[in-house]
Structure 1
Amino acid sequence: MPRKFRPQGTDNVLADLGFEDAEELSAKAALAVKLNDLIQRRGLSQTEAARITGMTQPKISQVRRYKLQNISLERLMQALVSLDQEVEIVVRRASRSRAAGITVAA
């Protein structure tokens, strides 16, 4: 039985699916996961979360549903800071074992 060709995947499923802005979408998703976790753990309503973060309730609703097209990385980071989180951005030279790109660990 012949083997089927299986293209090599990456660590970024969005890139594998052909999204041009895969790195940004992945970064936004990681920040949104953390933001949603904090909102849930604190038992905040969308209205309360909006008041604390300075976002509107509809924007919080979008984050809760991972509809992140109209929300910037900066806005997500500011929302996390509003919820007493430290957001750190580190820039370093890419190495041979680690390709250039954007990675978010939340």
Structure 2
Amino acid sequence: MNRKDHPQGTEDVLLDLGFDDAEELSAKAALALKLNELINQRGLSQTEAAVITGMTQPKVSQVRRYKLQNISLERLMQALVSLDQHVEISVQPARKAYAPGIIVAA
């Protein structure tokens, strides 16, 4: 997660802050948000969430605090599947309606 200068404002706050991996961080944040919502809805402790998702309790703690640097997109997706969620990845040509990039809708 290195920062670089990006003088022009965009719709991506992380990009505006100069993170060179802004798209990946945005995707991780969206998945973590959904994961945290599910943990809250089910009233799970971090230990219970760890058992269900196959993550360690410290990893669940990182997700709960949105410290996502050492957690892969794949791991977050697998955790959501463990909580009975359907995760779908869609690849489409970049056109006016779809600019090049990564978007996660959770």
Output the TM-score relative to the length of structure 2: 0.91
Aligned to 1:4: none
Q: 1:76 to 1:90 in 2, by over 3 A?
A: same
Deviation of the 1:9 alpha carbon: 2.0
Matches within 5 A, 1:60-99: 60-99=60-99
Cα distance in 2 for residues equivalent to 1:97 and 1:59: 36
- Structure 1 residue runs of 4 or more that deviate by more than 2 Å after TM superposition: none
Cα distance in 2 for residues equivalent to 1:69 and 1:76: 12
Deviation of the 1:8 alpha carbon: 4.6
Aligned to 1:53: 53
Q: Which runs of 5+ in 1 are unaligned?
A: 1-6
Supply the AA of the counterpart residue of 2:11. Answer: D
Matches within 5 A, 1:6-17: 8-17=8-17
Deviations 1:26-55 (A, max 9, x none): 000000000000000000000000000000
Q: Secondary structure at the match of 2:51?
A: helix
User: How much identity, in percent, do the aligned residues show?
Assistant: 80
Cα distance in 1 for residues equivalent to 2:47 and 2:9: 40
Cα distance in 2 for residues equivalent to 1:98 and 1:54: 34
Cα distance in 1 for residues equivalent to 2:97 and 2:58: 41
Deviation of the 1:10 alpha carbon: 1.4
Output the TM-score relative to the length of structure 1: 0.91
Rg bigger for which structure?
Answer: 1
Aligned to 1:104: 104
Q: When the two structures are aligned, how many residues end up with a matched partner?
A: 100
Q: Which runs of 5+ in 2 are unaligned?
A: 1-6
